[in-house]
Amino acid sequence: MSAQAKLLLRVTGVAKRFGSVIALRAAELELRAGEIHALMGANGAGKSTLVKVITGEFPADAGEVTLAGNVTVFRSPAEARRAGIVSVYQDPALVPDLTIAQNMRLARVPLDAVRATMRELGIERLDLSRRAREIDYPHLRLIDLSRALASKPRILILDEITAALPADLSERVFAAVREWRRRGHSVIFISHRMAEVAALADRATILRDGVTVGVTATRDAEDKIVNMMLGAEVAKAAAAPQPRASAGIAPQAAPALELRGLTYGHALSGVSFRLGAGEILGIAALEGQGQQELFDCIAGVRRANSGEILANGRALELRHPADAIRAGLVLVPANRLHALLPQRSIRENVALSSLGTLGAWGPIAMRAERKRVESAVERLQIDKRASSEVRRLSGGNQQKVVIARWLAAEFRTLLCFDPTRGIDIGTKRQIYALLREVAGQGAAVLLFTSELPEIRLACDRAIVLFAGRISGEMPASEADEARLLRAAHGLAAPVRAEAPV
């Protein structure tokens, strides 16, 4: 496609604020006909807000959206759809209590067209009479995409559609997006994954703090994009750490955490491993291989059917997260919103973990609490400008608050479930540096991450889960993406259940 291709959509000077929070200051975007255009930026840069302004979910405070030369203001996503702009939002837009077929009827999308696009995405076997509530998240995203494609949009917008998709499903999305470009339509593609963007998109627009800071062709522009996303100074400070050499862990009498034959329903069967103090153990897996259940069982959120969980050599009976916390096992869940009190202050959020026992219902020692909270906040360099309500913090800072909670309390083993999902590179590196620091001080860390290259950067050792079993184990130095992926697809020979530490 040529650089002189027709301009299809133009966004100029769009601003939007929510109460005291400014989401967009001056967003610019130029989308050509027949291109895949990446929209990039750190968390809170305003990408999703811009998408919602374009598709009419809410009006902009200032600025213009021009579609094929005409200034347009959509009052609802339905109006945008009629004009040929359809978005697959970050959270699924299917009504949970309606069946898939009813959802299509609601959106006035013909069923035959949806069936056709579902076939293209390889999900034609899905039963259309099932309620959206009963379908898992990755497939909901694909159905959402099928619906979007079925209304034949001139402009398709995908907001982090691959964030929670396993690799195989992501590939199908990429194929569909390329096919859409081939037919001469345009795609706006939002993703945090640089590799995806480089492989898929023609050009990228980069947002920082609600302002468009640059437009570039994506080929060989990774460093440039990162610099623009973060601003020059931050980028320097957050220089990438080197891959870790396989650290020799001293054999210990009693590991910080040990699992013996943990089984949970069909999700986990006979999972055993040891995690030493001072070690960071990475878990790699495709979507839905039992990693969620594994973390939940260890954190006391779910009860395992059989098997043992030992902390420092002591077998645990975990009926409630409180039992796990008492044993020093603390969880940082994937979804920050599951762990935070959005309307309360940083202080109350961080101090929450100390209120778990009945004895803590009495008067609070305010001064001691403030000291404890402040030291944790400082250690994590949390931006305190909006400290009265954590919902006003950026995603990265919110995640830091969750971690600060456990730093302010006491723990022996930190269970981190995809702590950097949807977080910008700067904060991501800060979080990994912190995990390293925590481990250096003698804590154990169990880390699941959906981004395989990070295992090598952040961990000492890696375990791969496949269909609820351990399908591979290797030191971090050998945990390159190819090896992890093979094991994650169950291709490597399973290791013995009792892996040597």
Residues 300-329 binding other proteins (CB under 8 A) are 301, 320-322, 324-326
Measured in residues, the chain has a length of 501
Angle at 346 between CA 342 and CA 351, to 5 degrees: 105
Q: Segment 341-360, which members bind other proteins (CB under 8 A)?
A: 341-344, 348, 351-353, 355-356, 358, 360
Residue with tokens 């329903």: 265
User: Which range in 73-81, 238-246, 438-446, 447-455 contacts other proteins by CB under 8 A?
Assistant: 73-81
Kindly tell me which of 30 and 451 has the beta carbon lying closer to other proteins.
Answer: 451
Kindly tell me which of 171 and 223 has the beta carbon lying closer to other proteins.
Answer: 171
Give the up-direction half-sphere exposure of residue 140: CA atoms within 13 A in the CB hemisphere.
19
CB of 213 to other proteins, least distance (A): 29
**Residue 315: beta bridge partners?**
310
Residue type, 138: P
Q: Segment 398-417, which members bind other proteins (CB under 8 A)?
A: 405
Kindly tell me which of 105 and 236 has the beta carbon lying closer to other proteins.
Answer: 105
Q: Segment 176-235, which members bind other proteins (CB under 8 A)?
A: none
Kindly tell me which of 76 and 375 has the beta carbon lying closer to other proteins.
Answer: 76
- Return the residue of 97, 112, 220, 233 that touches other proteins, per CB under 8 A: 97
Angle at 46 between CA 45 and CA 52, to 5 degrees: 165
- Residues 4-23, one symbol each (x = binds other proteins by CB under 8 A, - = not), give ---------------x----
419 near other proteins, judged by CB under 8 A: no
Beta strands in 56-178 (DSSP E): 62-67, 70-71, 85-88, 155-159
CB of 492 to other proteins, least distance (A): 16
440 near other proteins, judged by CB under 8 A: no
- Return the residue of 333, 419, 426, 472 that touches other proteins, per CB under 8 A: 333
Q: Segment 141-170, which members bind other proteins (CB under 8 A)?
A: 166, 168-169
Kindly tell me which of 201 and 488 has the beta carbon lying closer to other proteins.
Answer: 488
User: Which range in 32-40, 174-182, 222-230, 338-346 contacts other proteins by CB under 8 A?
Assistant: 338-346
Q: Segment 31-50, which members bind other proteins (CB under 8 A)?
A: none
Task: Say how many residues touch other proteins, by CB under 8 A.
Answer: 72
77 near other proteins, judged by CB under 8 A: yes
Kindly tell me which of 247 and 386 has the beta carbon lying closer to other proteins.
Answer: 386
Kindly tell me which of 77 and 153 has the beta carbon lying closer to other proteins.
Answer: 77
Kindly tell me which of 139 and 260 has the beta carbon lying closer to other proteins.
Answer: 139
CB of 360 to other proteins, least distance (A): 4
Q: Residue 150 is encoded by which pair of tokens?
A: 């079925």
- Return the residue of 89, 180, 273, 295 that touches other proteins, per CB under 8 A: 89
CB of 117 to other proteins, least distance (A): 16
> Cβ(443)–Cβ(277) under 8 Å?
yes
Kindly tell me which of 249 and 492 has the beta carbon lying closer to other proteins.
Answer: 492
In angstroms, the CA 345 to CA 339 distance is 14
Buried/exposed 182-215: b ≥16 CB within 10 Å, e otherwise: eeebbbbbbbbbbebbbebbbbbbbbbbbbbbbe
Q: Got the DSSP string for 211-280?
A: EEEEEEE-TT-HHHHHHHHH-HHHHHHTPPPPPPP---PPP-SS-SEEEEEEEETTTEEEEEEEE-TT-E
In angstroms, the CA 52 to CA 319 distance is 42
Kindly tell me which of 26 and 95 has the beta carbon lying closer to other proteins.
Answer: 95
Q: Segment 242-281, which members bind other proteins (CB under 8 A)?
A: 266
- Residues 101-140, one symbol each (x = binds other proteins by CB under 8 A, - = not), give -xx-xxxx-------------xx-xx---x---xxx-xx-
Query: How many other C-beta atoms can be found within 10 angstroms of the C-beta atom of residue 236?
Result: 10
CB of 310 to other proteins, least distance (A): 19
Q: What is the DSSP letter of 131?
A: B
Residues 6+ apart with CB under 8 A from 391: 340, 342, 343
Kindly tell me which of 132 and 249 has the beta carbon lying closer to other proteins.
Answer: 132
Give the distance, in angstroms, between the CA of residue 44 and the centroid of all CA atoms in the same chain: 14
In angstroms, the CA 57 to CA 79 distance is 10
In angstroms, the CA 1 to CA 4 distance is 8
In angstroms, the CA 260 to CA 243 distance is 30
CA–CA distances in Å: residue 26 to residues 16, 226, 337: 9, 20, 28
- Return the residue of 3, 69, 253, 361 that touches other proteins, per CB under 8 A: 361
